[in-house]
Structures are given as structure tokens and as C-alpha cells.
Structure 1
Amino acid sequence: MTHPLDRRTLLAGLGAAGLAAAVPAGAARRTPLFKRIGKPLGIQLYALGEAPRKDLAGTLRRLAAMGYRDIELPGFYDRTPQALRAEAEAAGVRYGSIHLGLPPRVAPGALSLMSSPQQLADALGALGVTKAVLPMPLLPETFAAPASGDPRDALASAVDAGGLDMWKRLAALLNDRAAALKPFGIALGYHNHNMEFRPQGGTTGWATLLGELDPALVFIELDLGWAAAGGIDPAAELRRLKGRVRMVHLKDIKATTTTNYALRQDPAEVGQGKLDWRAILPACAAAGVEHYYVEQEPPYTRDRFASMQISADFLSRFTG
């Protein structure tokens, strides 16, 4: 959510020429990027593994001390929206977004993207959230993680088996749910992995999905690390999708990551991998990104909170 005193508001109030004259160009360049654009640093709680489920209040306090203020929830952690919000307010943070799954891969009775718009509006309203995101493509209802072998292979195979028709059906579902939620003040988005970028039939699932989505209804939460793992230049994609990407997952990967479409990457803290943040972060701002959520995939080489501190330190000092 845009801060009421962000750069755009300040420029409108003071006048671009007057502000430019008041702030020397060199001083502006030395100001950290997130202060210049007036956006809080955010984090997707998935990156902390089981810590939020075991001790949400303590987790949020530790993240707030690192400078994270905008929190994206991966779900409800078996708590009520009211309890979730109380713990956020006590820690001095707020929720900006939540991921919602699809049946049957949510607990019986739990809220999902297919819950009634009124139910979702009530729950998200209690959280103080106006944006929801679907984080995975459609899977067969019979899909289950295999008893042996790498579950990533099974998931990627199930997505591939759906072909381009699955991406069209996904777009239709997102358009429909977004239209139903819009009157309740809830915006709906889609979060990518790298399966979307596999070439199929002379195109990709990503191109098919984007072509079918109504940009006036469904926004994109671009996961920069997964896009890079799928062979996509994140900065170029942000420029291409200007106006459609309202959120990003700030995620880095090591140079050892090879292009693939099966949920594989060698993760790194933001600023410690191969992504070109000097190109990516200004492209995010130019594209109109509203929420910046740090995330990191396992396996971790150090304590997860230590990794989140490294990413926060890099981003809070980044000047562009």
C-alpha cells in the first residue's frame, strides 16, 4: 500500500522543480532507494519456515528490529485474522498481502481462494489486507506428493501434463475470482515460480497466462529469483510488464543455478547472488511496484533469521 507521504505525494505538493532545486543531485543518489521511493521493506513469512507458526509474535518482533515493516502472509497459521492482526500491531508491523490456496490443497474448513467473497472480505478486512495472491498453478485434484523421490519433479510433471490449456483455465479462474472480489475492495494477483517459463507449443505457459489475464483485474507478483531460474531477465520483464506488476519477491540465486523449469535453484541472500540489483530495483520502481517482499528458498547455509538480516542490510543501504 502506498505510504501517504511517498515521493509521488511529496512531488505533487511541493512541485517537482522546487524539490529538485532543494535536493542536490548527489545527495539524492546517496539516499537509500527505499527512502527515496517511500516504500517499506517487506518480507514473505514463508522464508522463516516454521518459526512464525511456533512463535509469531517473537518472529514479527525480530523482523521489525531488522527493518521489515510490510509482511506478506503465506496463510493464516491456524490463527484467527483478529489474532494475527493483534500480534502484528504489537510488533509495529502491518500485513500488506496474503497468499490463498485452492481446494483440495487447503485444510478442510479453511479459507481458500474459492471461499465466498464475503467470507474473504471479512477475514482480510480483519487483517487490514486488501490484496490476495494465488501462489501456484492448477494441479489435478488427485495430485499428491509421492511417497519417494523428489516432490518437485512430480509437481513439475503435473503442471507440464496440463499443457497450455491449464494456463488458459487458470487465467479464466483468476479473472472470475478477481471480478467477484473487486466489489469488496480486494485485489487479486498471481505469483510465479519457474514452471511458467517452459517452452510449449511455440510459446510458454507464462505468455499464455499473461495473454489471457485481464490486466484491469489481476495483477502480477513477480518472483525475481524464480524468473531468473527460468531463464528470464528480471529487469527486462519488469519493463515489459510495466503497470501489471504490483508486488515483487526479492530473491537472489547463485551463479551455479542453471536454467530449468522444475523448481530448482541455488538460493542466496539478496545481494549475495548473481542478480543485477542495480538494474532490477530501479526497474521495480519504474514499473510501479507497490510491495517489496524479501524471500529465500531452502536450503539455507545459515540460520534463517541471519539470512533475513543480510538481505535487509543490503536493501536498506542500497542507493541504486
Structure 2
Amino acid sequence: MYYNRRRFLQTGGSLAAALAIGPMACKLASHSGDAPTALPAFGLQLYTLRDDLPKDPKGIIRQVADMGYKQIESYEGSEGIFWGMRNTEFKSFLDELGIKIVSSHCNIDVDFERKAGEAAAIGMKYLICPYKGPVDPATKQPRTLDDYKQIAADFNAKGEICKKAGIRFAYHNHDYSFKPIEGQLPQDVMMNNTDPELVDFEIDLYWVVTGGQDPKAWLKQYKNRFRLCHVKDRTKTPVEDNGKNSIDLGTGSIDYPSILKTAKENGMQYYIVEQEFYPNGSPLEAAKVDAAYMKSLKI
């Protein structure tokens, strides 16, 4: 099924126009001119600290809280989403630190209903598919447009599971979904064939730029579909290995004040820092620099 966002906007147009009349119009005009403000909260994708975290999960997360992060996004390591703790134990630990787990990347093909239930039980907002890849692992062949439509159907099914549990499902992009197949972008195919009531998207802004796309154009085109974002800077002198182009926030080439302002205006809810390469120090040092940048940011 093709979920036509344009049709939705057209049918809602007359209502939107009516609401803009009178005092509401003044409020909207005032809102558009609001002065930039600091983010009320921002998070860290724990994969940033993948080399340190498994050795001492509690100690590392304490340091993350001390840096000023109020949210975390986990990932499924060898000890699971909750790093060897029960979900309720993990939440209690985070409560002591004044930090929340809002989401986690996970393997969506194994025990997904259990993961959704455990996530919902502690107030998490999202479970996220981190990667599908441009190659079908079964056939070893490049994915086709039909493959991406099948992926979208599976995302809808996972979204149903999450909805029943009381959380949301989302997909996190890399650059491969912005490379055309038969004149179409897989990212468009996945977004247009998923139900907005069931599936949101986490836009990794670094990978959008790496894929040669304009993040602001995507945020505007798919307003309210991107609810989370990965804030990750890209070096001004990129090398062929994209894994080595990640750099401390504020020192790279991505115009985050402008991009995140657009994100905020188009439905963004969660701003998650991620860094994968650390040319200026250790991962913990990089996370601290990134936190300072996010604190200073006004959008």
C-alpha cells in the first residue's frame, strides 16, 4: 500500500487555512519569528562509546550524565539493550542519574515482541531498526525496489507490535538508501510504503549529507515523519572510508544550527549525538566536546 502524504496534506489544507484566521494567525506569525532557544534536552547514542561501555556500563553512563546528556539511545550489544541489567533495574539506575533512555537500536528479527514489551514497561519511546543494507544477505545480490517495498511491509508489521505495546517503531538510515535504483531512492520507497500511524524515521544527518542529499529538503518533504535525528559532524576533508569522516561536533562541515532549526520546525522530537571516529582524542573526550556544543546550540 502507498501511503500518500500529499493527499493527506491536500485534504487537511482547508482546515489548516480556517485555523489560521483571526487570533491564531497572529500566534502563528509570532511563532515564526521566535528567537532561537537552547535545546531543552539532547541525548547520546551509546554506540559512540562502544569500546568503553561493555567494560563498565554503569561507570560509563555515569560519566555521560555528568557531561550534561539528559537522554540516551542504547544499542543491542552482547549484553542486550540494558547492558546485563533487567529493564526495570536499568531504569532505576538511570533515574538516580536524572537521565532517560528514550530509544534503542536493536535486532528487529529476534524476540521483537519481548523487546517491545520490556521497552514500553520502562517508558521508552522507540525501538529502532539500525540497518538493512544495500545487499540482500540471503541472495548476496543488490536489493531491488521490490525488496525495499517488502522491507517497508515488515516495518509496518513491527510498527503494529510496537503500537500494541505502547511505544513507536522507527528506521535509521545510512547513505545507501539515498542512492537511486531505477530512478527512485530507496528512502522514498520505504517512507511512501510505510504507514505514518505505525512507522517513524530517525534521520542520520551525517549519512544524508554523505549520500549527497540536502537534509533540510528531506525534513520539509516528510514533515512529521522524522521524529529522531542523529547529530554527527563530517570532516571538511573527507576520505574514501566514510567510517573515518566522523568528527567532533562544531569542527566539521555540517551546518547544524540551520539544519536543526528546520528539523525543529518540521516535527523533530529527539536530538541524539553520535560519533564514530575520534581524531582529536578518546571517545569519552569526544562525547564531552559534543555535549558542550549541544549546550551552546540555539535553534
Q: TM-score, normalised by structure 1?
A: 0.75
Cα 1:50–1:264 change in 2 (3 A) is closer
Tell me the equivalent position of 1:278.
257
Q: 2:183 aligns with which of 202, 213, 224?
A: 202
Tell me the equivalent position of 1:33.
38
Specify the code of the residue in structure 1 equivalent to 2:227. R
Cα 1:16–1:53 change in 2 (3 A) is farther
**In the alignment, is residue 93 of structure 1 matched against residue 99 of structure 2?**
yes
Tell me the equivalent position of 2:51.
50
Tell me the equivalent position of 2:207.
226
**In the alignment, is residue 129 of structure 1 matched against residue 124 of structure 2?**
yes
Specify the code of the residue in structure 2 equivalent to 1:223. D
Q: Deviations over 1:47-91 (max 9, x none)?
A: 111322221221122111111011111122343212322321222
Task: Within 5 Å, give how 1:121-160 maps onto structure 2.
Answer: 121-137=116-132, 140=136
Q: Deviations over 1:164-206 (max 9, x none)?
A: 2221111010011112321221210000011111121111211
2:144 alignment partner, SS class: helix
Tell me the equivalent position of 2:64.
63
Tell me the equivalent position of 2:155.
174
Specify the code of the residue in structure 2 equivalent to 1:95. I
2:223 alignment partner, SS class: coil
Is the 8 Å Cα contact of residues 200 and 227 (structure 2) preserved in structure 1? yes
In structure 2, how many angstroms separate the alpha carbons of the residues matched to 1:17 and 1:67?
36
Is the 8 Å Cα contact of residues 137 and 167 (structure 1) preserved in structure 2? no
Tell me the equivalent position of 1:5.
none
Specify the code of the residue in structure 1 equivalent to 2:157. D
Specify the code of the residue in structure 2 equivalent to 1:134. C
Q: Which moved more, 1:87-96 or 1:65-74?
A: 87-96
In structure 2, how many angstroms separate the alpha carbons of the residues matched to 1:240 and 1:183?
28
Runs of 4+ in 1 over 3 A off after TM superposition: 15-18, 138-143, 262-265
Q: TM-score, normalised by structure 2?
A: 0.80
In structure 1, how many angstroms separate the alpha carbons of the residues matched to 2:58 and 2:279?
23
Q: Deviations over 1:261-318 (max 9, x none)?
A: x854511112111011221111111011111100012254311111111111112112
How many residues align? The count is: 267
In structure 1, how many angstroms separate the alpha carbons of the residues matched to 2:298 and 2:292?
12
Q: CA deviation at 1:16?
A: 11
1:68 alignment partner, SS class: coil
In structure 2, how many angstroms separate the alpha carbons of the residues matched to 1:83 and 1:317?
33
Is the 8 Å Cα contact of residues 243 and 276 (structure 2) preserved in structure 1? no
2:268 alignment partner, SS class: coil
Task: Within 5 Å, give how 1:250-261 maps onto structure 2.
Answer: 250-257=231-238
In structure 1, how many angstroms separate the alpha carbons of the residues matched to 2:84 and 2:25?
48
Q: CA deviation at 1:140?
A: 4.3
Q: CA deviation at 1:245?
A: 0.7
Identity over aligned pairs, percent: 27
Q: Which moved more, 1:280-289 or 1:72-81?
A: 72-81
Tell me the equivalent position of 2:90.
84
In structure 1, how many angstroms separate the alpha carbons of the residues matched to 2:297 and 2:116?
36
In structure 2, how many angstroms separate the alpha carbons of the residues matched to 1:300 and 1:268?
7
2:170 alignment partner, SS class: strand
Specify the code of the residue in structure 1 equivalent to 2:187. W
Structure 1 residue ranges without an equivalent (≥5)? 1-14, 104-111, 144-157
